[in-house]
């Protein structure tokens, strides 16, 4: 019998349970995937904590990579026809922290051979978020943008996608992670007291836009001080301040954000297949040890992506 993680009620990881369950066979335009790796993202445990009692139990996990084990009638994957045995990745799914999952074929893509299963299972949530941040701030070739949290998962994808578009990035990070920012084409600046002046020194002609991946008051304050057009300031982590102060906040739960992110998935998979978009990995955990992976994300800086491996 298959196994999966569920949230049994609103709350934190203390309400998560690892249980056996029956996987529904695929219906029309659905496929079943034997999961080889599941991505671990802050959104997994944050979103699982939300909702009313009627929403629970709620399966956990938004992205996976694995092998097709069953294909429903009329299936055509987002990247072409699929057959049992094909290696795939999927995003956005419900219940990816599992040994097997049945999902809409429209959310399934052929796995690039260049990516391992853990890498493929962590490509699209961060990648789509990064793509939307660059899109809504209208970052253009020849411009310089400021990215807060540039060494994190979303930040690293922003760095790579910006470089491909000819956009220069000044990226905030801790001193120990400065080399990560450099590796992916950004100019690192250390966060902390005096950040605004360090950014002005690093970008003497100014920054055209600011992309906040961390949500600290420092990140927001410096962004607003340096970018005059608040339509070109975006956050994924400080929605309260965005609403109060008139700049952008994006989230995959918003209909417009979801539509854009869905539209760019195939392009990101193609870039990964071409070797132009990589997914730095930090650790993998056995699926049964998912709570340890969550603790690492909540309390530490893993230095790359984390995956669960059944």
What residue has token string 């807060």?
148
Q: Are 142 and 177 in a shared domain?
A: yes
Helix (H) or strand (E) holding 273: helix 255-273
**Among 76-80, 106-110, 206-210, the least confident range:** 76-80
Q: Verify that 283 and 240 share a domain, yes or no.
A: no
What pairing do the DSSP bridges indicate for beta strands 64-71 and 58-59?
unpaired
Helix (H, G, I), strand (E, B), or coil: what is residue 218? Answer: helix
Q: Are residues 85 and 158 in the same domain?
A: no
Supply the pLDDT for residue 300. Answer: 72
In a domain, residue 255? The reply is no
Q: What angle do CA 231, 237, 243 make, to 5 degrees?
A: 50
Q: CA 139 to CA 131: how far, in whole Å? A: 10
Structure confidence at residue 273 (pLDDT): 97
**Are 192 and 239 in a shared domain?**
yes
Give CA separation, 169 vs 149, 209, 274, in Å. 12, 10, 22
Cα 257 to chain centroid, rounded = 13
- The reply to whether 257 falls in a domain is no
The answer to whether residue 41 sits within a structural domain is: yes
The mean per-residue pLDDT over the stretch 109-138 comes to 98
Per the DSSP assignment, residues forming a β-bridge with 2 are 21
Shared domain for 98 and 112, answered yes or no, is yes
| 131/43 same-domain check | no
pLDDT of residue 302: 87
Is residue 32 within 8 A of residue 70, CB to CB? The reply is yes
Q: Are residues 170 and 231 in the same domain?
A: yes
**Could you tell me if 118 and 223 lie in one domain?**
no
High-pLDDT (> 90) share of the chain, %: 89
Report the Cα 64 to chain-centroid distance in Å. Answer: 12
User: Are residues 129 and 238 located together in one domain of the fold?
Assistant: yes
Same domain, 36 and 90: yes
**What is the domain-level CATH number for residue 27?**
3.90.180.10
Question: Same domain for 132 and 237?
Answer: yes
* Domain endpoint, select from 249, 270, 299: 249
Whether 265 maps to a domain, the answer reads: no
d(CA 6, CA 59): 4
Window from 106-115, 172-181, 292-301 with minimum mean pLDDT: 292-301
Residue 261 lies in a domain: no
Which DSSP category does 287 fall into? Answer: G
Structural domain includes residue 270 = no
Model confidence over 34-58: pLDDT tens digits?
Answer: 999 999 999 998 887 777 778 899 9
pLDDT range class, residue 115, cuts 50, 70, 90: very high
Which ranges in 103-211 belong to alpha helices (H)?
117-120, 124-136, 153-164, 178-183, 195-202
Give me the number of domains the chain comprises: 2
Give pLDDT, residue 55: 86
**In the prediction, which pLDDT does 47 show?**
82
Residue 26 in any domain: the answer is yes
Q: What is the pLDDT of residue 228?
A: 94
Query: Could you tell me the CA-to-CA distances from 296 to 15, 79, 184, 301 in Å, in that order?
Result: 17, 33, 24, 7
Confidence of residue 301 (pLDDT cuts 50, 70, 90): confident
- pLDDT for 51: 78
Q: Is residue 53 part of a domain?
A: yes
pLDDT for 174:
95
Could you tell me the residue range of the domain that residue 96 belongs to? 2-123+279-309
pLDDT at 173 over 80: yes
Residue 105, pLDDT above cutoff 90: yes
Predicted local distance difference test score (pLDDT) of residue 188: 98
Q: What CATH number does the domain containing 239 carry?
A: 3.40.50.720
Q: Specify whether 80 is located in the same domain as 10.
A: yes
């Amino acid at each position: 019998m298959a196994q999966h993680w569920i949230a049994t009620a609103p709350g934190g990881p203390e309400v998560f349970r690892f249980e056996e369950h029956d996987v529904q066979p695929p219906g029309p335009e659905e496929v079943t995937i034997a999961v080889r790796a599941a991505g671990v993202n802050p959104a997994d445990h944050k979103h699982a904590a939300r909702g009313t009692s009627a929403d629970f139990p709620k399966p956990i996990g938004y992205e996976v990579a694995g092998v097709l084990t069953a294909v429903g009638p009329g299936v055509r994957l987002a990247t072409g026809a699929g057959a049992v045995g094909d290696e795939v990745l999927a995003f956005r799914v419900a219940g990816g922290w599992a040994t097997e999952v049945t999902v809409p074929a429209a959310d399934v893509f052929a796995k690039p051979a260049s990516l391992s299963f853990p890498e493929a299972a962590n490509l699209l949530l961060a990648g789509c978020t990064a793509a939307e941040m660059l899109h809504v701030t209208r970052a253009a070739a020849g411009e310089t943008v400021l990215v807060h949290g540039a060494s994190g998962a979303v930040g690293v994808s922003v760095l790579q996608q910006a470089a491909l578009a000819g956009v220069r990035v000044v990226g905030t990070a801790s001193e120990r992670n400065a080399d990560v920012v450099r590796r992916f084409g950004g100019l690192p600046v250390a966060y902390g007291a005096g950040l605004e002046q360090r950014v002005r020194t690093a970008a003497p002609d100014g920054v055209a836009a600011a992309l906040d991946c961390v949500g600290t008051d420092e990140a927001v304050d410096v962004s607003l001080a340096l970018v005059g057009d608040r339509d070109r300031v975006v956050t994924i982590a400080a929605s309260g301040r965005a609403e109060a102060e008139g700049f952008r906040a994006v989230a995959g739960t918003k209909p417009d954000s979801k539509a854009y992110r869905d539209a760019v998935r195939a392009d990101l998979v193609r870039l990964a297949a071409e070797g132009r978009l990589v997914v730095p990995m930090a650790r993998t955990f056995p699926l049964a040890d998912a709570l340890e992976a969550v603790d690492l994300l909540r309390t530490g800086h893993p230095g790359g992506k984390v995956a669960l491996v059944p």
